[in-house]
Amino acid sequence: MPALGVIQRKAMGFVYILSNKSRDVFYTGVTGNIWYRISQHRKGDGSSFTKKYNVIYLMYYEEHDRMIDAIEREKRIKRWKRDWKINLIKSVNPQMRDLWIDYREY
């Protein structure tokens, strides 16, 4: 998975999956600015769901050249079963670590 900083400069839309500390609650979202949106979630300003369940850890993200494609992908993933989402995350992040740490070090 490329560094988030490199991706941000060329992508028009992002789909992302967040989780809580115990990795048993997941949230799928879409944004045009992943830096800003994840920062909002981490400060408790993202959504009522992520705030309520402390879902602030970035598990997965993907870039899309067009926002409409990102929105369509988000809708598909939101309909997926939980196990499918976990398999998607583990396909690029097998240890399910917080990818936001990569950004902070970038």
Kindly report the number of other CB atoms within 10 A of residue 97's CB atom. 13
Q: Going by DSSP bridges, is the β-strand pair 13-19/57-64 parallel, antiparallel, or unpaired?
A: antiparallel
Domains in the chain (CATH in brackets) are: 4-105 (3.40.1440)
Please, are residues 98 and 58 in contact by the beta-carbon 8 Å criterion? yes
What pLDDT score does 21 carry?
Answer: 97
Distance CA 78, CA 29 (A): 9
Instruction: List alpha helices for the chain, DSSP H.
Output: 4-8, 34-43, 48-52, 67-79, 82-92, 100-105
pTM of the model: 0.87
> How much of the chain, in percent, has pLDDT values that exceed 70?
86
pLDDT reported for residue 66: 96
pLDDT value at position 7? 47
User: Does the pLDDT value for residue 72 go beyond 90?
Assistant: yes
Please report the pLDDT score of residue 9 as a whole number: 53
| pLDDT confidence of residue 101 | 86
Do 14 and 63 touch, CB atoms closer than 8 A? yes
**pLDDT tier at 3, thresholds 50, 70, 90:** low
Residue matched to tokens 């998607």: 88
The predicted model gives 37-64 an average pLDDT of 94
CA distance 44 to 97: 20
pLDDT at position 102: 78
